[in-house]
Amino acid sequence: MSIAVIVPTYRRSQDLARCLEALQNQTRSPDEVIVVIRDTDTQTWSFIAGFNPKQLPLRTVKVTVTGVVAAMNTGLDTATADIVAFTDDDAAPHKDWLARIESHYLTDERIGAVGGRDWVYHGTYLEDGTSQTVGQVRWFGRVIGNHHIGTGEAREVDVLKGVNMSFRRSAIAGWHFDKRMKGTGAQVHFELAFSLKLKRAGWKLIYDPQIAVNHYPANRFDEDQRRSFNPIAFANAVHNETLALLEYFSPLQKLAFLFWATIVGTREAMGFIQWLRFLPSEGLLAGKKLLASWRGRWQGLQTWQGGKSIIN
């Protein structure tokens, strides 16, 4: 099987250098490495011009639209390999990353996607932990990630994480990541919509903690600044999650989800009960998060009702 690796990047040349070095050191070499670069990103274009790819089969592709979705779709349209793997420019795959990915596809032709753990580093601090519950979507809409702390054996999941995921080309032939995802950069939860579409089509999604990348979350250059609150970014993430789940759920689940999301919710997408929970510690900030969450839910519902052009 041939494998292509797609790396969207934007103004992170030092991070990209580390990522490409990790791909050069794979025990199973990639057949294609496609770096997708924004047309206005002069920093990265200058870096690539002086980069020595050695034996790396490196290609660069230009994208003119903002956001990770456009970059990843451009990569998908460019890749020709049997397996298409994705990682971020601020990640460094372990040496056996591609070898372990390939081994799963070779064992079962019903596997449509394979991903694994991202070991998250904040400087020298490792965000460590353990969880057996990874990549799950509860029947009423709660999404559980935990990809960065997953342990145990390889198993089927509902959703993979964008920094460490791959797809069988025959399973996603003609598909694209949903262009309706809001955001000008990160477009949080884009992989949720794609994963659930694949699962609904009957393919297996495998999470294996041994398939690993080191992840060094870098600065973002949009409204989503990771650990600081931005009402636009907060609402965008909730919109994207809402849209993905409404596309996937049955009519009864849709009703249960909208009720649960409005009344209960989560820390990242608050409902009324979560607002009460965090009100003593966060004060006015909790109220801002609640309003942004409800706005995102409403916008996601409107987008979903406006048409089903999700992944095509």
- Residue of 159, 143, 218 whose CA lies nearest to 186: 218
Question: Residue 229 has what pLDDT?
Answer: 87
- Residue of 227, 146, 234 whose CA lies nearest to 188: 234
Question: Residue 308 has what pLDDT?
Answer: 55
Tell me which H or E stretch contains 210: strand 204-215
Residue length, the chain? 312
- Residue of 15, 57, 2, 5 whose CA lies nearest to 36: 5
**Residues of the chain above pLDDT 90, percent:** 91
Question: Does 311 score more than 60 pLDDT?
Answer: no
Residue 251 CB neighbours (<10 A): 7
**What contacts 73, CB < 8 A, 6 or more positions away?**
176, 177, 179
3-state secondary structure of 11: coil
Q: Which of 122-131, 136-145, 280-289 has the lowest mean pLDDT?
A: 122-131
Task: Give the mean model confidence (pLDDT) for residues 176-186.
Answer: 93
pLDDT tens string 272-281? 999 999 999 9
The answer to pTM > 0.75 is: yes
CA distance to 146, 154, 188, 233, 271, per residue, from 295 (Å): 26, 37, 16, 11, 11
Which position has the token pair 């054996």?
A: 153
pLDDT tens string 199-235? 999 999 999 999 999 999 988 776 655 667 899 999 9
- Residue of 161, 186, 191 whose CA lies nearest to 175: 191
Tokens at residue 165, please? 């995921």
Mean pLDDT of the chain: 94
Q: What is the set of domains in the chain, with CATH numbers?
A: 3-215 (3.90.550.10), 231-305 (no CATH)
